[in-house]
Structure 1
Amino acid sequence: MSKKSVLVIGGGAAGMMAAIFAAENGAAVTLLEPNERLGKKLNITGKGRCNVTNNAPMEELLQNTPRNGKFLYSAFSHFDGLDAMAFFERLGVPLKTERGNRVFPVSDRSFDISAALERRLKSLHVRLVRDRAVRLCTDGEAVTGAQGEQQVYPAQAVILATGGVSYPATGSTGEGHRMAASVGHTITPLQGSLVPLREQGNTCAAMQGLSLRNVTLTAFENDKKVFRELGELVFTHFGVSGPLALSASAHMRRFDKKRYHLEIDLKPGLDEAQLDRRLLSDFEKYCNHDFCNALNDLLPQKMIPQMVAASGIDPHCKVNAVTREQRKELIRLFKHWPIPIAGLRPVTDAIITSGGVKVSEVNPTTMESKVVKGLYFAGEILDVDAYTGGFNLQIAWATGRAAGIAASSGEN
């Protein structure tokens, strides 16, 4: 009996995973990828270290997927972070777990992950073709293959795993969304997620390059709290970046109708009463100094002029003349440093794409299209996205596996 033919379009994380599981399940698999190297975007994730997954229970994986997380319940229940770790260790890549349950190769080399996947593809005799798909072929009800720039590739099942529109230099140019739309799928609006944030004004620009660790960032939509987390961020010439800002951006999607702002708790380990005592202690130490020279023990140097200006206290006022009300305002700024947000940086600066193939049109168990028989989706092309910390790659592995197994099953 001949093997079922499966065409996987896209050689990124999700596409390679789909091809491996389809081949392991007995299919004859062709993997279409225009780039010279597979896993081009995978190789730059985690600053080149590759945050492979997150070693967290399934409930936590779902909680860290703010965009359509429920859709992933089946995929994650069959393949969670522990399964992903076992998979890569079986492929010969030793892994380690770091802060926040983030999982990396022991070598800190993302190429070890992509190389392991390539070796597995080769051992399973997956046919790799350097070509770009331009159109899906259908008979009206079912997919029959795809048209490439070089030739037509007939197949009994097609898995679209072309990624989103972030990092276009890696090949994620949105052609998968266009192909899906051409056969009747709805594409929800595409924008950057896990993307740096642009401030209103130039307060952050004045602190460009300053990195804050162990601060708590809270994001507000209008006046409703939508995100809060302890971690690290960095001030830039345009606003804020770093892990906290990127995660907060996942909750900022409606700049046309909503207003957004951030608040930084610069001293999350101290409540207001404790911070007041600390300030009084420092003020006593610097009692004969100008106010602008009395915050060196509490703040990084680059932030002091901004804090002094925001407080409204005369920089050259002697510390022993600062009033109780002025000190109260200073404490408020330490606990609620405000940053009004004007918008997101361009999608080309984003780590991932928010938006994509509407998940209500996809079977969450098999990743098969409900619109066209034999068409499957995996990875960032779907309208799902998560926070930083290995969660988005876990989506790629889990949906790729589900699509690969389902596409290779059934009748030839």
Structure 2
Amino acid sequence: MKTYTAIIIGGGPSGLFCSFFLAKEGAKVLLLEKMQNCGRKLLISGSGQCNLTHTGTVSDFLTHYGDNGKFIKPALMNFSNVALLQFFEERKVHFCEDGNGKYFPKSGKSRDILDTLLFEAKQAGVVIHTHEPALNICYGSSGFMITSSIESYHSSHVVLATGGYTYPVTGSTGDGYQLAKNLGHTIEETGPALTPIYIHHFPLSDLAGISFPTVPLSLYRNNKKIREIQGDLLITHQGFSGPGILDLSRHIRDGDELRISFIQYQNINSARDDLINLFSTGGSKKVKKILTDLHLPDRFVKKILEIALISTETTCAQFSKQLRTRVISMLLEYPFASFTLGGQDEAMVTRGGVSLKDIKKDTMESVHIPGLYCIGEVLDIDGDCGGYNLQAAFSTGALAADSILKKMRKKERVQD
């Protein structure tokens, strides 16, 4: 049976990065990838352009991982967005910022990121076996025995870097969840995240392509608001997309209600009062004119008035309190209760995964199994769109490698 210092299961960004850091320090590393090639999901990230990371400090980053910012903090402190960009810049991959804080390779090609990772891993001595899925992990007093589709291996360290279950065509089919579960770990409920929303009997379908910058999007559960974010909104033929919707989708569960504002505001009560004042003092001015003066698209205004059964010729003087209330509600918190999330074939990431309670945040090592590490998307952590998920993959991979190397050096000192 072949023996390795560490076996990495999964050849995505977190697995390749972790394997490189280990091998360059002398560790004997095997990487098992189930697909014919490594990094298939990386190649399609950012529409093939690879939004690698984002601007901002570590503190800024922590606000972009839902309720799990505290968990990811040690990984980001150990290997930040600045360090990640520097890593690739030193290897002649240069970046540009798109004006919204997102960093992309100047070439616009995710292939440049993957090629660099593969080259560095191979140069460092990582043994990469593709088309060889890991089927089982056994743990005992002598370490781990990993059984693949081809043979068995022994190692004192195993790193699960199998990703989530979205975009299964790339190899992300949730294999790591079962491997971790078999070793006694809890798997938090998984679901699609960073995905569009499809509204049943969508009333705005003929407005597809219209977008609204930085509007409030709210999520209600049992008639109680549980989440509100500000984000860009895009109307599609079947519902909503855009960065704001994609980010909010991570928090949606069955039975939730989505409420959309098409107008920017900081306080909904103040916004409502402002609209009431505009209509009540408008006199002979048309309601349609009031709305278009708010920089709402003309097609959108006509549609809202049509749905509200209000003529485009209606003046503010003719605008009853009942009709006014109806339109304002549609503008500030249009409710959608019957909808579905985009499925695993289009969700950018997976929410849920290996419970963070089972993982030490300072090392990425399992609480239950010494020498077992979980990194990247297999963990129950997912970030907003904008490079936050790739950053988490690289940072957790680097932190796990650091932890394993510290163990190796400690063992060497004891033996000396």
2:355 equivalent to 1:358:
yes
Per the TM alignment, residue 174 of structure 1 is displaced from its structure 2 partner at its CA by 1.0
Q: Structure 1 vs Structure 2: percent identity of aligned residues?
A: 29
Matched, 1:263 2:252: no
Deviation at 1:395, TM superposition (A): 0.8
Cα shift at 1:202: 1.8
1:21-78 superposed Cα distances (whole Å, 9 cap, x missing partner): 1112320111111323321111111111111112221122111101422221211111
| Distance in 1 of aligned mates of 2:262 and 2:212 | 11
CA pair 238-342 structure 1, distance change in 2 beyond 3 A: same
Asked if the contact 1:143/1:375 (under 8 Å) is kept, the reply is no
- The separation in 1 between residues aligned to 2:342 and 2:92, in whole angstroms, is 38
- Whether the aligned pair in 2 keeps the contact of 1:30 and 1:129 (CA below 8 Å) is yes
**Alpha-carbon offset, residue 338 of structure 1:** 3.3
Q: CA deviation at 1:118?
A: 1.4
Aligned residues: 401
Structure 2 residue ranges without an equivalent (≥5): none
**Normalised TM-score (structure 1):** 0.87
The aligned runs of 1:133-172 (5 Å cut-off) are 133-141=133-141, 143-172=143-172
1:233 paired residue number: 233
Structure 1 partner of 2:216: 217
Q: Is the 8 Å Cα contact of residues 7 and 145 (structure 1) preserved in structure 2?
A: no
Which secondary structure state, in structure 1, belongs to the residue aligned with residue 121 of structure 2? helix
Query: In the TM superposition, what whole-angstrom CA distance separates every residue of 1:155-183 from its partner, at most 9, and x where no partner exists?
Result: 22111101000100110011111111112
- Structural RMSD (CA): 2.8
**Match of 1:404, as an amino acid?**
A
Deviations 1:242-262 (A, max 9, x none): 211110112213x2xx53212
Match of 2:379 in 1: 382
Q: Which amino acid aligns with 2:211?
A: L
How many Å apart are 1:6 and its aligned residue?
A: 1.2
CA gap of 1:206–1:143, structure 2 versus 1, over 3 A, is farther
Contact 1:368–1:376 (8 Å) recurs in 2? yes
Q: Give 1:303's aligned amino acid.
A: F
Residue 392 of structure 1 aligns to a residue whose secondary structure is: helix
- Superposed, which structure 2 residues align to 1:31-110 within 5 Å? 31-110=31-110
Correspondent of 2:398 among 392, 398, 401: 401
Greater RCO (Cα-Cα under 8 Å, separation 6 or more): 1
Q: Which amino acid aligns with 1:129?
A: H
Specify the SS of the correspondent of 2:368.
Answer: coil
AA of the residue aligned to 2:382: D
Structure 2 CA distance for partners of 1:280 and 1:79, relative to 1, 3 Å: same
Structure 2 residue aligned with 1:181: 181
Deviation (angstroms), 1:389: 1.2
C-alpha displacement of 1:232: 2.2
Letter in 2 for 1:394: Q
Aligned-partner Cα distance in 1 for 2:283–2:66: 44
Distance in 2 between residues matched to 1:155 and 1:14, nearest whole Å: 19
CA distance in 1, matches of 2:342, 2:202: 15
Counterpart in the other structure of 1:199: 199
CA distance 1:361–1:237, shift in 2 (3 Å): same
Q: CA 1:132–1:398 in structure 2 vs 1: closer, same or farther (change >3 Å)? A: same
C-alpha deviation, 1:210, in angstroms: 2.2
The code of the aligned residue for 1:391 comes to Y
- Does the 8 Å contact 2:17/2:121 carry over to 1? no
Q: CA deviation at 1:134?
A: 3.3
- Does structure 2 retain, via aligned residues, the 8 Å contact 1:67–1:385? no
User: Which residue among 320, 323, 344 is the counterpart of 2:319?
Assistant: 323
Counterpart residue type for residue 319 of structure 2: T
Query: Aligned partners of 1:280 and 1:210: how far apart in 2?
Result: 32
Q: Does structure 2 retain, via aligned residues, the 8 Å contact 1:159–1:407?
A: no
